[in-house]
Amino acid sequence: MSVLLGISGGLSVDHLVHAPVGARFGCLGGPGLYAALAARLVPETQVRLHCSLPRSTPEFARVLSDAGVDLTFAEHVEDVPRVWILTSDQGRRIVSTSPPRGNELVNTDAPAPGEGLELPDQFLATLDSLLCCSPRALPAAAAGTLIAVDPDQRYVQDKGDDYWKSVAAPGGVLLPSRVQLTSIDIDARQAALHLAAQTGVRVVARLDADGMLAVDTDGRTWTVTDDDVHVTDTTGAGDASAGAIVAALSTGADLATAAAYGVSVARIVLSDWGHAALTRAAPLAAPLDRVRVIGR
């Protein structure tokens, strides 16, 4: 029996620069794209996407429709954010392609793609689960809907504990990144444990090269790592893993297995530039070989 996963996430046109590997320009991107393409790789998952769909770049609609993603509730707009995604050993930086007037030195982050989109009631109706990418607050989803949140880094920094509590839905799951967890504790593991205890919901911490840490509400933890990952570019891996984790939970997987699905799709994304590997990938009957789950 299939489940219906709704995803609220923006789209962007990305110029990817990964030192010293190389660069690709004008790539389709954004959390909505990566999460939707990844979620549909989990068996028995149908995906409904709410996003701003640009007339300037019809390739978005073609790629998503070809993947079976329901775009009925997409809002048609002229264009979406265009950003530089700059990656090096020192970290990642995302900036708008358009600097402030008269200033080439950009010192502010680009706006989150899809920021400010309101979810219509019709979009939320009949969903089994909902993934909110960078929300200000939780939508009024129907009772019984599994709600997962991929937090907004800026709100985490500005509001701290108040933001975490405001987006922690009962029975839901939080999907913080390592960077977001530093607002709680420099030790990502301790931060994830604290977040689960503080909010009372499950947490899957996405820790880049260290894989993921899944924390259940009873304090049990699992470390999920990949022994067979090969990195071409890192863009989209976190967004894709979020989509796969929520899809797996929605179809009945336990928390550790859902995290293993997330690590599996991250391997797929990392193997090529942008979303290319996701569109070629076959549905996953199970997490990929050599993805390891260690419980504590």
pLDDT digit string (tens) for 256-276? 999 999 999 999 999 999 999
In a domain, 235, yes or no: yes
pLDDT exceeds cutoff 60 at 104: no
pLDDT at residue 117, as a whole number: 57
CA 250 to chain centre: 16
Structural domain span for residue 162: 3-13+30-81+118-295
pLDDT at residue 100, as a whole number: 65
Q: Tell me the average pLDDT across 130-142.
A: 89
In a domain, 275, yes or no: yes
In a domain, 103, yes or no: no
Share of the chain above pLDDT 70, in %: 94
Which pLDDT band, with edges at 50, 70 and 90, does 296 fall under? Answer: confident
pLDDT digits (tens, 9 = 90+) for 242-257: 999 999 999 999 999 9
In a domain, 18, yes or no: no
pLDDT digits (tens, 9 = 90+) for 160-201: 889 999 999 999 999 999 999 998 999 999 999 999 999 999
pLDDT at residue 101, as a whole number: 63
8-state DSSP, 110: P
pLDDT exceeds cutoff 90 at 92: no
Q: Tell me the average pLDDT across 129-137.
A: 94
* Whole-structure pTM value: 0.94
**C-alpha distances in angstroms, 70 versus 63, 64, 133?**
12, 8, 17
In a domain, 212, yes or no: yes
Which pLDDT band, with edges at 50, 70 and 90, does 139 fall under? Answer: confident
pLDDT digits (tens, 9 = 90+) for 46-73: 999 999 999 999 999 999 999 999 999 9
Averaged confidence pLDDT in the chain: 92
Q: Tell me the average pLDDT across 126-133.
A: 95
In a domain, 25, yes or no: no
pLDDT exceeds cutoff 60 at 114: no
Which pLDDT band, with edges at 50, 70 and 90, does 97 fall under? Answer: confident
pLDDT at residue 256, as a whole number: 97
Place of tokens 């108040």: 162
Q: Tell me the average pLDDT across 82-102.
A: 84
pLDDT exceeds cutoff 70 at 159: yes
CA dist 211 and 85 (Å) reads: 21
pLDDT exceeds cutoff 80 at 226: yes
Which pLDDT band, with edges at 50, 70 and 90, does 144 fall under? Answer: confident
**C-alpha distances in angstroms, 238 versus 41, 76, 97, 145, 188?**
15, 26, 22, 23, 16
pLDDT at residue 90, as a whole number: 85
In a domain, 137, yes or no: yes
Tell me the residue ranges of DSSP E strands in 207-250. 212-215, 221-226
Which pLDDT band, with edges at 50, 70 and 90, does 147 fall under? Answer: very high
Task: Report the CATH number at residue 269.
Answer: 3.40.1190.20
In a domain, 124, yes or no: yes
pLDDT exceeds cutoff 60 at 140: yes
pLDDT at residue 224, as a whole number: 98
Place of tokens 């029975």: 171
Q: How many domains does the chain have?
A: 1
pLDDT at residue 118, as a whole number: 76
CA dist 67 and 65 (Å) reads: 5
